[in-house]
Amino acid sequence: MAPITLNNGQPKEDTTPNYDVCENYDGKYRFAPIEESQVARAMIKRYFNTMYERAVSDVVIIGAGSAGLSCAWQLANMHPELKITIIEASVAPGGGAWLGGQLMSPMVVRKPADGFLRQLGVEYEDEGAFVVVKHAALFTSTLLSKVLAKPNVVMMNATAVEDLIIHEDFRGEQRVAGVVTNWTLVALNHDTQSCMDPNTITAPVIISATGHDGPMGAFSAKRLVSAGLKKELGNMRGLDMSRAEPAIVNSTREVVPGLIFAGMELSEHDGSNRMGPTFGAMIASGTKAAHVASGIFASSKIVRGRVVG
């Protein structure tokens, strides 16, 4: 057994059995002793410490689909000092990127977005103008694991954004200044139970990548209309891959102060086309959103999570 070091610096022999040895699986496998309360406290302490620490974040990304995760990866690499908090309504992050199209597994990525796959180390087949990853879950699981391994990134899944925090900024303009959150199971059942008030996260930059219209889709875009910050939505138009993908990437921007749109939520906001089962625009839009966010930090004075100049 290898020696281990205690908190007081004194070495102690590690008597933990080696469960990598196959013989331990022959009716001899034993777990280290533990109490149920230890499991509960291990989760509770870390989860609520994270909630406390991220009540003021630098960036909140709404939606952990292909665009949101690509944005988080790029931004975390560019700015390891920023506190990046991802809010995902589903239990399983990844959005529609677990499959290609119509329950088929291969993922198509048009060039030049294949460069992102090489950054991640995801293998693909080259088909000339596009590449194909053998299973979309390979891309999604690789990206997700690399994002969550970043020390400045945390994700709260099974958590819904119920509203946007909108303040008057130092110029007297309306600015998105954070998000209002609740556990998704609560958010989906407000009509079946007594009121349960939400929580809040303050951040100078919100990046919304909630996808096209659906149960949780295009949330921020629709909220801009109901909040009076936008007259109406453009509404996503029919499928046209050649027009849709560059429109999404080139239109990725700060749509109102403090709020950046990425991915298919832009198609609902702008009234651009959908592109169907090709993911290059999601990757490139998320990457561009990270650069837009970086520009906001470079040009703003921020105090306690609020832009003051």
The answer to the question of whether 23 is labelled as a binding residue is no
- Type of residue numbered 112: P
The answer to the question of whether 88 is labelled as a binding residue is yes
Residues 19, 25, 28, CA angle at the centre, nearest 5°?
Answer: 85
What SS3 string covers 249-267?
HHHCEEEECCEEECCCHHH
The answer to the question of whether 209 is labelled as a binding residue is no
The answer to the question of whether 276 is labelled as a binding residue is yes
To the nearest 5 percent, what fractions of the chain are helix, strand and coil?
A: 35, 25, 40
The answer to the question of whether 156 is labelled as a binding residue is no
Task: For residue 112, say if its preceding peptide bond is cis, omega within 30 degrees of 0.
Answer: yes
In angstroms, rounded to a whole number, what is the distance separating the alpha carbons of residues 229 and 165? 13
The answer to the question of whether 2 is labelled as a binding residue is no
The answer to the question of whether 161 is labelled as a binding residue is yes
Q: Residue 66 CB: number of other CB atoms within 10 A?
A: 31
In angstroms, rounded to a whole number, what is the distance separating the alpha carbons of residues 49 and 55? 10
Output the known binding site. Answer: 67, 88-89, 96, 161, 197, 212, 264, 274-276
Binding-site residues for substrate sit at 67, 88-89, 96, 161, 197, 212, 264, 274-276
